[in-house]
């Protein structure tokens, strides 16, 4: 059970006023808010531990290194990876995808095929296009249905002996659709292709078991699950990560350096060049603790109630069109009202203290598919309330009256 009043008292920003009104924060799919339990870890790090990790003989460095490696193990346990060194700490989802794309530039041949879907975030499209330009491989796209799900029959037809890699988001940030990744992974493996799952939008709502999924690579960002910005993780099966060359050269990723030849460090350090976001990684661990204390089952159940309540109420508004009507979706609602431009609607909501996102949500191909310039997107978290949804619905109703 979610005790939402108690939870809200953990988030200082939720008691802020915006334009003279109590803030209603419905932009959780872009970034989530940060509880005191996580903010305190960052303050504590800079107040007590700050030093560089892994290289120091002194006490501060040892303590900071220990806290950093404990966070890695927390992340490993949370996602149920087999080994801590299969968790590469990155600056976020975008960097994790670029790391894999850049690594495969040596391993692909011209005319190899890669598969993505029509509902990817730009960060899971552009790195693969760049990889195709470098290698001469082709990018194939799984089409979407009108209700905002993947056409799985078409996926089966795209797979063939030339398919090397498949990249799909676990949950679409623009539509909320939960994709059938078990089926995707199994079909790809039956075809000897590897799979990378972009979990940025799934991890705030779902706790993935990476060994059970048998997925090859999985990436996510801390800032969407109550952690700080600029931190994330890339999971990869050890035997696959070992085949990839380092992503960046620098300190920490080497074993020995001479001007004749440099040898690289083992996993995970081979992929962690330079001084990382130490406080951020430790805070990522604290964010996972915080969310696990509440429990992902309770979070999913409560958010689903918010989603159903908001969907039912929105549908009563004249001219309402919701994009993304998959049976299995997270608490994201993308919509338009009549011919009103999403930006105009979003601006009026902002005047009322209600934060939503408007535009293409870094997923332009989805907007092209629906032949719209963009949508208004409201996305809920476990710290949102039914009263906030009432205020939001009244705001949309008012804005629609003014603009139509």
Q: Which residues are catalytic?
A: 362
- Per rule CB under 6 A, is residue 93 in the interface with ligand PLP? yes
Cβ neighbours of 386 (radius 10 Å): 12
Decide whether 94 or 381 has the Cβ nearer to ligand PLP: 94
Decide whether 225 or 267 has the Cβ nearer to ligand PLP: 225
Judge contact between 276 and 52, C-beta under 8 A.
no
- Per rule CB under 6 A, is residue 92 in the interface with ligand PLP? yes
d(CA 333, CA 299): 17
d(CA 159, CA 125): 18
d(CA 68, CA 85): 13
Least Cβ distance, residue 122 to ligand PLP (angstroms): 8
Which token pair is 350? 């902002």
Least Cβ distance, residue 240 to ligand PLP (angstroms): 21
Part in contact with ligand PLP (CB under 6 A); list of ranges 118-126, 139-147, 286-294, 393-401: 118-126
Judge contact between 182 and 201, C-beta under 8 A.
no
Part in contact with ligand PLP (CB under 6 A); list of ranges 62-70, 74-82, 195-203, 306-314: 195-203
Q: Cα dist. 132→72, 96, 165, 189, 236 in Å?
A: 32, 18, 12, 21, 21
**Alpha helices, H only, 232-277:** 238-241
* DSSP 8-state class, residue 46: I
Part in contact with ligand PLP (CB under 6 A); list of ranges 117-125, 248-256, 377-385, 394-402: 117-125
Least Cβ distance, residue 120 to ligand PLP (angstroms): 7
Residues in the chain: 404
- Per rule CB under 6 A, is residue 94 in the interface with ligand PLP? yes
Q: Which helix (H) or strand (E) holds 97?
A: helix 93-103
In the list 28, 33, 65, 123, the residue contacting ligand PLP (rule: CB under 6 A) is 123
Least Cβ distance, residue 101 to ligand PLP (angstroms): 13
Contacts of 146 (CB under 8 A, 6+ apart): none
- Per rule CB under 6 A, is residue 169 in the interface with ligand PLP? yes
Judge contact between 93 and 232, C-beta under 8 A.
yes
For tokens 């799900």, what's the residue? Answer: 149
Least Cβ distance, residue 78 to ligand PLP (angstroms): 17
Q: Which helix (H) or strand (E) holds 85?
A: none
Least Cβ distance, residue 171 to ligand PLP (angstroms): 7
Which token pair is 26? 């419905």
Judge contact between 280 and 227, C-beta under 8 A.
yes
- Per rule CB under 6 A, is residue 329 in the interface with ligand PLP? no
Decide whether 356 or 393 has the Cβ nearer to ligand PLP: 356
Decide whether 123 or 313 has the Cβ nearer to ligand PLP: 123
- Asked if residue 102 has a cis previous peptide bond (ω within 30° of 0), the answer is no
Decide whether 135 or 173 has the Cβ nearer to ligand PLP: 173
d(CA 176, CA 329): 5
- Per rule CB under 6 A, is residue 221 in the interface with ligand PLP? yes
Least Cβ distance, residue 126 to ligand PLP (angstroms): 11
Decide whether 74 or 170 has the Cβ nearer to ligand PLP: 170
- Per rule CB under 6 A, is residue 381 in the interface with ligand PLP? no
The 222-261 site mask, x for binding ligand PLP (CB under 6 A), equals: -x--------------------------------------
Decide whether 364 or 385 has the Cβ nearer to ligand PLP: 364
d(CA 202, CA 179): 10
- Per rule CB under 6 A, is residue 179 in the interface with ligand PLP? no
Part in contact with ligand PLP (CB under 6 A); list of ranges 87-95, 210-218, 280-288, 311-319: 87-95
Which token pair is 313? 């109420």
Interface residue list for ligand PLP (CB under 6 A):
92-94, 121, 123-124, 169, 173, 198, 200-201, 221, 223
């Amino acid at each position: 059970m979610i005790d939402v009043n108690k939870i809200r008292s953990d988030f200082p920003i939720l008691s802020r006023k915006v334009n003279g009104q109590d803030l209603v924060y419905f932009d959780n799919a872009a970034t989530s808010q940060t509880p005191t339990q996580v903010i305190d870890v960052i303050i504590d790090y800079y107040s007590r531990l700050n030093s560089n990790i892994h290289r120091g003989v002194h006490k501060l460095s040892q303590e900071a290194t220990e806290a950093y490696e404990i966070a890695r193990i927390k992340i490993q346990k949370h996602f149920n990876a087999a080994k801590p060194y299969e968790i590469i700490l990155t600056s976020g989802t975008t960097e994790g995808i670029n790391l894999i794309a850049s690594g495969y530039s040596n391993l692909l041949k011209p005319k190899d095929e890669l598969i993505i879907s029509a509902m990817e975030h730009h960060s899971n499209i552009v790195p693969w296009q760049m990889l195709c330009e470098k290698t001469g491989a082709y990018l194939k796209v799984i089409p979407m249905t009108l209700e905002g799900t993947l056409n799985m029959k078409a996926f089966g037809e795209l797979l063939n002996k030339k398919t090397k890699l498949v990249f799909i988001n676990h949950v679409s940030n623009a539509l909320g659709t939960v994709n059938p990744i078990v089926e995707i992974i199994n079909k790809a493996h039956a075809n000897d292709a590897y799979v990378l799952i972009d979990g940025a939008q799934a991890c705030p709502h779902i706790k993935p078991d990476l060994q059970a999924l048998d997925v090859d690579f999985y990436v996510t960002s801390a800032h969407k699950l109550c952690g700080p910005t600029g931190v994330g993780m890339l999971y990869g099966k050890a035997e696959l990560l070992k085949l990839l060359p380092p992503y960046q050269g620098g300190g920490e990723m080497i074993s020995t350096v001479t001007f004749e030849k440099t040898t690289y460090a083992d996993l995970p350090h081979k992929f962690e060049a330079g001084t990382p976001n130490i406080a951020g990684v430790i805070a990522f661990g604290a964010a996972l603790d915080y969310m696990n204390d509440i429990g992902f089952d309770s979070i999913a159940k409560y958010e689903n109630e918010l989603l159903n309540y908001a969907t039912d109420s929105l549908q009563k508004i004249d001219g309402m069109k919701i994009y993304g009507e998959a049976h299995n979706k997270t608490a994201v609602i993308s919509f338009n009202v009549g011919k009103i431009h999403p930006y105009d609607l979003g601006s009026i909501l902002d005047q009322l203290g209600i934060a939503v996102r408007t535009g293409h949500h870094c997923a332009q191909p989805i907007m092209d598919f629906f032949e719209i310039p963009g949508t208004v997107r409201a996305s809920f978290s476990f710290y949102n309330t039914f009263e906030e949804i009432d205020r939001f619905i009244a705001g949309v109703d008012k804005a629609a009256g003014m603009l139509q």
